[in-house]
Amino acid sequence: MKIQTKEDFKRVFDQLYNPLCNFSATILNDEAGAEDVVQEVFVKLWNKREELDVSGDFKSYVFQAVKNKSLEVLRKKKSDLRHLESAIQVAYVDRDTPIQRELDNYLLKEKLYNSLRQLPPKCREIFEMSKLEGLTYGEIADVMKISPKTVETQMSRAFKILRNFLQ
Amino acid sequence: MKIDEILRKYFLGKQSEEELAMLQAWKLESEENLAAINQLETYWKNYENIKDYKEFDKISAWDSISEQIENPVKEEIEETQKEEAKTIAFPLWKVAASLFIALGAFYFIKTGGGAEESISQLALVDVEVLTEKALEDGSMVWFNAHTKADLSQFTKEKRTIELQEGEAYFEVQSDKEHPFVVSAGDFNIEVVGTEFNVSYLNNQIEIFVQEGRVLVMNGNRKVYLSAGDMIVGSTAAFSKKENANQNTISWKTKRLEFNNSQLSEVLEDLSNHFQVDITLKEGVDHKNCFLNTSFSEEKLEDVLSELEALFQISSHKAGNTIVIDKVNC
């Protein structure tokens, strides 16, 4: 299958843009730089749409393209002493993780991130403190000035909503 | 008790011994149950990994991509590139000479100037020599010799600079909220955080991007440039080329690089860099002369003696021009 219309292309973009930016940002440690990389890759994809098959390993291909471009940008930065500091910060990036794993990992993150939108505001806040920040129910109760029982109720509510959404 | 209720308690860590046993039993009942619980466990465990996950601005991104795929600039390139490139290439010093007349009325900056010279006072720039300046927002500008620019409108919130004549290299501090805009004649160059070079001489524009991405606007036309891209031309006709010559910014980097470059191109870059006119005597056969080397901070004499060793060049000086009489490749 090939990308034929701009609508086809938009669908691919909608699905992959955010995970790709997050992926590139962890390599570059630079959000604006990551957006530049991903947008450039998308423009190139469009120009090459006739040669590309969207089925099969297409998503891995796009992830690989973004990874290559990000590393290229990083190399340029590293060769430049002024950026030494940020280069050191990203030095731990594991370059050898298979791209399929990165793809799965970032699509999972995107899905989980989107699931948070299903939660009512207060419920979301409590859930994020607990699961993302790692606070205990007692700590959350203190911060929010509510009873631990309410925290538990909200977490229970969050679980129901999220489970339903993720299924 | 319903399994949903037990699952919920389990994932919140509130299950009793009895409930845990029931859950284990349920898990073993079927492949589906096992898969469902594993799946849920994966999700639940991974929430802690999305702490730094962000939402990027998809709408702006799509606008920008749309713009680029609908207005490819390629067609223009073939028509105008060659001519435009030639008009641009004549030595800077000729233009620079004529600019001296305009000096006087402007605020002068000299490298290592007086202590009272603060950034905010730098309304009008008119530099005689290469000058490096820090801007209020942390960005850096290098003005090439004989360059005029208006910085009077520049603030942290409204980052605008008018390049009136000459050449400048910008290293822009990233700030998504406040785009950094350089105007030169009818051209507006907009960036967020990047490094690029702009030359504006005799209504001819030349924009070269060293790092990041740049949006060039001219009337209704918009062109995006990425690292290595360049735009040359005027309002009447300009064109984009990819993988442009890095030596464009040798005035700032002090570095000239040649990868399999034709001797004629080499001489052109040297002419621009040293602001002299180096020409090949008519009829000299140089088709097989290719250069692979780099120079950093070498003097013109050193460069010429290297060319002498490589290509057995002999030359003579005629006024401000160096004429190559003979080569042997």
**ipTM of model:** 0.86
Q: Do A46 and B65 touch (CB under 8 A)?
A: yes
> Hey, are the CB atoms on B43 and A39 less than 8 Å from each other?
no
CB nearest B47 (choices: A6, A35, A132): A132
Question: In Å, how far is B48's CA from the nearest CA of chain A?
Answer: 4
CA–CA distance from B4 to each of A162, B32, B38, B48 (Å)? 13, 15, 15, 23
Q: Supply B271's token pair.
A: 């002419």
* Start-to-end CA span in chain A (Å): 28
- Decide if pLDDT at B121 tops 50: no
* Whole-number Å distance between alpha carbons of B295 and A24: 34
* Pairing verdict, β B180-184 and B159-171: parallel
Residue B112 pLDDT level (bands cut at 50, 70, 90) = very low
Report the pLDDT value the prediction gives residue A158, as an integer from 0 to 100: 95
**Max alpha carbon distance in chain A (Å)?**
60
Q: B61: which chain A residues are within 8 Å (Cβ-Cβ)? A: 13, 17, 35, 38-39
Report d(CA B162, CA B144) in Å as an integer.
15
Q: Which among A128, A164, A144 has a CA at the least distance from the CA of B49?
A: A128
Nearest partner of B278 among B328, B329, B313, judged by Cα? B313
B59 touches chain A (CB under 8 A): no
pLDDT of residue B102: 33
B294 touches chain A (CB under 8 A): no
CB count within 10 Å of CB B150 equals 17
Contact A17, A41 (CB under 8 A): no
B221/B186 Cα distance (integer angstroms): 11
Rounded to an integer, the average pLDDT of B36-53 is: 93
Q: Which residues pair with B233 in a beta bridge?
A: B205, B238
3-state secondary structure (DSSP) of residue A96: coil
Q: What mean pLDDT comes out for the span B7-34?
A: 91
Cα–Cα distance measured from residue B203 to residue B234, given in angstroms and rounded to the nearest whole number? 6
What is the tens place of the pLDDT at every residue in A87-108? 444 444 555 678 888 999 999 9
Q: What pLDDT is attached to residue B228?
A: 86
Residue ranges of the domains in chain A? 6-90, 95-166
List, as own/partner pairs, every contact residues B182-187 make where C-beta atoms lie below 8 angstroms and the sequence separation is at least 24, other chains included: B185/B234, B185/B235, B186/B218, B186/B219, B186/B235, B187/B216, B187/B217, B187/B218, B187/B235
- Percent of residues in chain A assigned helix, strand, coil, to nearest 5: 75, 0, 25
pLDDT given for residue B203 in this prediction: 84
DSSP class of residue A129 equals I
Separation in Å, CA B179 to CA A83, B31, B68, B139: 21, 56, 19, 12
What pLDDT is recorded for position A120?
94
Separation of alpha carbons B191 and B143, rounded Å: 18
User: B69: which chain A residues are within 8 Å (Cβ-Cβ)?
Assistant: 6, 9, 43, 46-47
Give the number of A-B residue pairs with CB atoms closer than 8 Å: 100
Residues 6 or more apart in contact with residue A96 via CB below 8 angstroms: none
Chain A interface includes B61 (CB < 8 A): yes
Chain A residues touching residue B62 (CB < 8 angstroms): 10, 13, 17
pLDDT at A55 over 80: no
pLDDT confidence of A78, banded at 50, 70, 90?
low
Q: Does B287 touch chain A (CB under 8 A)?
A: no
Residues 193-212, chain B, touching A (beta carbon < 8 A):
193, 211-212
Q: What is the per-residue pLDDT across A104-160, written as a single tens digit (0 to 9) for each? A: 999 999 999 999 999 999 999 999 999 999 999 999 999 999 999 999 999 999 999
Beta pairing, strands B321-326 & B314-318: antiparallel
**Which CATH architecture best describes the domain A6-90?**
Orthogonal Bundle (1.10)
Write the pLDDT tens digit of every residue in B156-175: 899 999 999 999 999 998 88
Say whether B46 and A31 touch across the interface (CB within 8 A): no
Measure CB to CB from residue A76 to each of B11, B211, B226 and give the nearest one.
Answer: B211
Asked if B53 has any chain A CB less than 8 Å from its own CB, the reply is: yes
What is the C-alpha separation between B151 and B159, in angstroms, rounded? 9
DSSP code at position B277: E
Contact B64/A at CB under 8 A: yes
Which of the 8 DSSP states describes residue B144? P
C-alpha pair distances (Å), B134 with each of A84, B111, B169: 20, 12, 12
Flag whether residue A32 sits within 8 Å of chain B, measured between CB atoms: yes
Reported confidence tier of residue B300, pLDDT bands at 50, 70, 90: confident
Residues in chain A closer than 8 A to B213 (CB atoms): 36, 39-40
Token output for B116: 């009272």
Q: Which two tokens stand for residue B174?
A: 């990233």
The span from the CA of B264 to the CA of B89, in Å, is 12
Q: Which of B48, B56, B64 sits opposite A134 (nearest CB)?
A: B48
Give the distance from residue B20's alpha carbon to the nearest chain A alpha carbon, in angstroms: 17
CATH class assigned to A95-166: mainly alpha
Identity of the residue numbered B301: E
